[in-house]
Amino acid sequence: MNKEEKIQAMTEIMTKFTGYMGKHLPDDVTAKLKELREQEDSYLAKVVYDSMTENQELANRLNRPCCQDTGVVQYFVKVGSQFPLLAEVQDILRTAALEATKEAPLRHNAVQIFEEKNTGTNTGERIPWINWEIIPNEKGINIEVYMAGGGCSLPGQGKTLMPAAGYEGVVEFVFDVMTSYGINACPPLLVGIGIGGSIDVAAELSKKALFRPLGVRHSNSRGAEMERLMEKGLNDLGLGPQGLSGKNSVMGVHMETAARHPSTISVAVSIGCWAHRKGNIQINEDMTYEITSHRGGTL
Ligand code: SF4
């Protein structure tokens, strides 16, 4: 393949994958919803979980998005410094969001600031959002695609605490956010928490926390314990599926952390809803690819 052919191939892959992950939930979310359904004994909670399963089956069968809100498209990219299309990735992903909007189709969700006009293409100023990490000496690219829906973006909050607030202050902030706004986001929720020394770092990490596979804990044993305790506390609130009460509130609590300034602790929360549309794809330098989030998925 020459360079032009590679650009065309990657654009096609990413167009199809962007549409695909809006219709199919990833394996870990599907398994977690099944697990939570089995824990319920109330009629209402079971019915709601069953309707989520039916919704998913219909989306698969009819080849339609699994929620009407297909979100603002975001790409979290880990690209090898030797990836042959490094300079073209940004244009490719913008074209992919635009084409997927027509082909999938995706709802139009890009409103230009100040003009207050929906572009109708899911592209606009800095949208699709692209977050970059460059991996030295690698030749491939790994892309996490995320659809940031309105409901699940609404509870997103951040705050910089005085250091004396400690980890108790972090937990208090998370619970305030969840009890005030969590219900807006179609529970059961995935709670992403970022902790660092400034609000921008915490906010970015809170979103990245949503991409960790469910069931994988923070690498630090204290971090893992804090995730477990918050998960238990939030589940004890009993929000239940769609906030209609039940045994659980969350699919999980994930924290991502960065070393902080001695005088600050910044904490941010990002939320994923039950229809947590995240998709991970690995593309190699020869444009072969593997979908790692949806076993057996084909484009
Ligand atoms: S919160 Fe999630 S499931 Fe609910 S409407 Fe928004 S995108 Fe859809």
Q: Give residue-wise pLDDT tens across range 4-38.
A: 999 999 999 999 999 999 999 999 999 999 999 99
Q: Do 98 and 82 sit in the same domain of this protein?
A: yes
What pLDDT does residue 243 have?
95
Residue carrying the six token digits 């991970």: 280
Q: Do 11 and 145 sit in the same domain of this protein?
A: yes
| Ligand 1 site, residue 273, Cβ cutoff 6 A | yes
> Could you say which residues of the chain have pLDDT below 50?
none
Residue 38: inside a domain, yes or no?
no
User: Encoding tokens for residue 44?
Assistant: 């209402």
| Ligand 1 site, residue 210, Cβ cutoff 6 A | no
Q: Do 142 and 176 sit in the same domain of this protein?
A: no
Q: Do 207 and 157 sit in the same domain of this protein?
A: yes
Q: What number does the ligand 1 atom closest to the CA of 185 have?
A: 1
Give the helix/strand (H/E) hosting 73.
Answer: strand 72-80
Q: Do 143 and 11 sit in the same domain of this protein?
A: yes
Q: Do 133 and 169 sit in the same domain of this protein?
A: no
Residue 58: inside a domain, yes or no?
no
Q: What number does the ligand 1 atom closest to the CA of 273 have?
A: 2
What is the domain range of residue 143?
3-23+66-149+277-291
Q: Whose CA is nearest to atom 2 of ligand 1?
A: 273
What pLDDT does residue 192 have?
98
With CA atoms as reference, report the closest residue to 25 among 193, 182, 214, 153.
Answer: 214
Residue 79: inside a domain, yes or no?
yes
Which of 49, 67, 72, when mutated, tests ligand 1's pocket best, judged by the most ligand atoms within 8 Å of its CB? Answer: 67
Q: Do 130 and 257 sit in the same domain of this protein?
A: no
Q: How far is the CA of 184 from the centre of ligand 1 (A)?
A: 9
Backbone angles phi, psi at 76, to 5 degrees: -110, 110
Q: Quick check: bond before 128 cis, omega within 30?
A: yes
Q: Do 221 and 165 sit in the same domain of this protein?
A: yes
Domain count, the chain: 2
DSSP letters spanning 125-161: TTBSEEEEEEETT--SEEEEEEEE-HHHHTT-EEEEE
Q: Do 100 and 18 sit in the same domain of this protein?
A: yes
